[in-house]
Amino acid sequence: MKKKIIWVDLDEVLAETLDRCLEYNNYMIGNLKISKDNVRDYYLHKKYEINLEDSVEWF
């Protein structure tokens, strides 16, 4: 049987992903405290000066 992969887009349309990520990470990115209002896009590594790998891991 061939393995199937299903992709799901979780960018606030089907689920409130950002709220759960903020809560899980204690509203912190690196050493910075943030709120949902501070996040305008998912390119956290550009705004908060963390590397891409840490940004992916944060989510």
**pLDDT block averages, 10 residues each, the chain of length 59:** 85 84 94 91 89 92
Each residue's pLDDT tens digit, 27-36:
999 889 999 9
How confident is the model at residue 41, as a pLDDT? Answer: 87
Residue with tokens 């960018």: 11
Could you give the CA distance from residue 58 to residue 28 in angstroms, rounded to a whole number?
A: 10
Supply the pLDDT for residue 36. Answer: 92
Sequence letter at residue 55 = S
